[in-house]
Amino acid sequence: MNIQWYPGHMTKAKRAMKEDVKLVDLVIELVDARAPLASRNPDIDSLAAGKGRVILLNKADLASEKANAVWITYFESQGFQVMKIDARAKATLKQLNALIQEACKEKIERDRRRGILNRPVRAMVVGIPNVGKSTFINKLANRKATVTGNKPGVTKAQQIIRVAKDFELFDTPGVLWPKFEDEHIARNIALLGSIKQDILPLDDLFVYVMTYLTKYYPDLLKERYGLEIDLDDSDWLLKAFDHIAQKRKIKLLRGETDYDRVIQLVFSEIYDGSIGKVTWEDYTCVKD
């Protein structure tokens, strides 16, 4: 799957982040709970080396509850402080604070030994585009819009928000890009809805989605479309198209099922979450 982002932006954003990261104690990484590995960029581990680390599974409201729990355990086993969130909801600052204290306990202890008390932890938020960084920062800062980009004449000090008495945040998030070269990653990112549909191979994705949902979320297909798929039936795909079209009263196109409209319908319901809570990254893949 070939998805073209902008390599120029990527390099620039990475350079800016490298500089910003020097000024913080803690890196708060947002990942999409529906595809927590695909929505990371592994470069973050070297960029954030030596810093406190928190991973927030954002958009947890759109992901499977069971999968959320498994992914939390997975990231905890990798040594991260982890929490699932819905960045649009009222910030769970108290819970977040406990994670921050834990992630930065060495720094806090070091400060204490040097006689520095109550120096706030300074953090930056990072993640791939559309993962919810601005929403999260705005909620924490209790305001409506984020100042984006580095404005000339605005110093770093002016871009730092005091969120709590012991917690400061850069108001500009660090942006990293997923690894689109990897086919599985590109596919899972495509299912999160932030890539323009016209550059996606929607027919192939549709087959994948139906197969995946049949395997892992059959109840959801039944509930949403009254659909039960038998993958051993060689006609299953055509039958699924016809079934969804009939169920949703999609008009025939020259006497035949309008396949494109069925695909559009299913993808729009995946993207807005009305299809139900789905985690696209098969969490069994991280068991070994």
Q: Does 132 bind ligand G4P (CB under 6 A)?
A: yes
Site string for ligand G4P, 33-72 (x = CB under 6 A): -------------------------xx-xx----------
Q: Does 129 bind ligand G4P (CB under 6 A)?
A: yes
Residue 161: φ, ψ to 5°: -105, 135
Q: Single out the residue of 10, 16, 70, 88 in contact with ligand G4P (rule: CB under 6 A).
A: 88
- Judged by CB under 6 A, the stretch of 15-23, 37-45, 83-91, 218-226 that binds ligand G4P is 83-91
Q: Does 87 bind ligand G4P (CB under 6 A)?
A: yes
Total of chain residues touching ligand G4P, rule CB under 6 A: 15
CB of 237 to ligand G4P, least distance (A): 30
- Of 224 and 277, nearer to ligand G4P (C-beta) is 277
- Six-digit token pair at 155? 């110093």
Q: Single out the residue of 134, 172, 257, 279 in contact with ligand G4P (rule: CB under 6 A).
A: 134
What is the maximal distance between C-alpha atoms in the chain?
A: 80
Q: Single out the residue of 133, 224, 243, 277 in contact with ligand G4P (rule: CB under 6 A).
A: 133
- CA torsion 253-258-260-263 (nearest 10°) is 160
CB of 86 to ligand G4P, least distance (A): 4
Pairing assessment for the beta strands 174-175 and 121-127 based on DSSP bridges:
parallel
- Of 108 and 123, nearer to ligand G4P (C-beta) is 123
Q: How far apart are CA 29 and CA 35, in angstroms?
A: 14
Q: Does 107 bind ligand G4P (CB under 6 A)?
A: no
- Of 33 and 240, nearer to ligand G4P (C-beta) is 33
Q: Single out the residue of 52, 127, 174, 178 in contact with ligand G4P (rule: CB under 6 A).
A: 127
Q: How far apart are CA 79 and CA 258, in angstroms?
A: 49
What pairs with residue 30 in β-bridges?
Answer: 56
CB of 83 to ligand G4P, least distance (A): 12
- Judged by CB under 6 A, the stretch of 38-46, 81-89, 176-184, 251-259 that binds ligand G4P is 81-89
> Which residues are at the interface with ligand G4P (CB under 6 A)?
58-59, 61-62, 86-88, 127, 129-135
